[in-house]
Amino acid sequence: MRFLLALLLAGCAGLAQAASLSIDTGHGASALSTQQLLARPDARTIDVPGDVSYHKTMRYKVVPLKALLAGVPAGAHLQFTALDGFAAEIPAATILDGHGAEAWLAVEDTPWPALGDGKPSAGPFYLVWLHPEAGKVGPEQWPYQIASIRVLADPAARFPLMRPAPGLAKDSPIMRGFEVFQRNCITCHTLNGQGDAKLGPDLNIPHSPTEYLREGMLRVLVRNPQDLRHWPQAKMPGFSPQVLSDADLDNLETYLKHMATRKAH
């Protein structure tokens, strides 16, 4: 029995070692294996307090993510695609200069714990953060089970139906709300039928939440979804004021109200 268990554990470790990450910084995709990443001179072990996925302090073998993004401009957008097709978008600037927030690529060299009953681990690759509050990094910006990272045009260019009306000042509440949407919502939600998200509902079709929630309830939903609808299987995380300020939330609501007048038909 012990021999069989040892074989099974060795097999699991071998699977982790065999993982490969695809990275495309705009000059064609390249693949990096678990072994290659862990052999880098900048690889190290860190403790991550309050890990978003495991809800406790976790220890990982990691490499600094920005070291893998040589040549990527700060204005670029990065898409992290998971093994199940889930796609998270993060502005490159958040990773390249997080104003104190540090982005690390955790590498599953030996099997990590399962994320829940009947679920796999967060591996083979997982974006974790130290000091995430310094860069207002939200829980949706911790993508796990990463299969690929690639540079894409910003969402405003790729998804024109998300854009507010032309001619608005860049610092207007609507445009600032659009920035908040791109930073915090686009990972899980489409808008006007556009976007790569597959997890949450569209936020404008057939109705914007600003059309069916009474005043103040959008704030309740965003701060803690379970305070609005108790649903054990709900996947939407809550956004604390440290991640999403009250001003950001006001701007997001202004953007959504504006887009409710710009539905795609």
What per-residue confidence (pLDDT) applies to 76? 87
What per-residue confidence (pLDDT) applies to 2? 44
Report, at the CATH architecture level, how domain 156-259 is classified. Sandwich (2.60)
Q: Structure tokens of 232?
A: 């054990």
Q: How many Å apart are CA 178 and CA 191, to the nearest integer?
A: 11
- Buried-exposed string 51-65: b where 16+ CB fall within 10 A, e elsewhere: bbbbeeebebbbbbb
What per-residue confidence (pLDDT) applies to 15? 45
Q: How far is CA 134 from CA 29, 39, 97, 130, in A?
A: 31, 29, 11, 9
pTM assigned to the model: 0.73
Q: How many Å apart are CA 59 and CA 47, to the nearest integer?
A: 4
Tens-digit pLDDT profile for the chain (265 aa)? 444 444 444 444 444 457 999 999 988 889 999 999 999 999 999 999 999 999 999 999 999 999 999 889 888 889 999 888 788 888 899 999 878 999 999 999 999 999 988 889 999 999 999 999 888 888 888 999 999 999 988 888 889 999 999 999 999 999 999 999 988 888 889 999 998 877 789 999 999 999 999 998 999 888 887 777 766 666 777 888 877 899 999 999 999 999 999 998 7
Query: Helices then strands (H, E): number in the chain?
Result: 8, 9
The neighbouring-strand residues paired with 146 are 82
Ranges of each domain in the chain: 18-152, 156-259
Does the domain made of 18-152 have the CATH classification 3.40.640.10?
Answer: no
Q: How many Å apart are CA 46 and CA 18, to the nearest integer?
A: 22
CA nearest to 152, candidates 68, 82, 80? 80
3-class DSSP state of 182 = helix
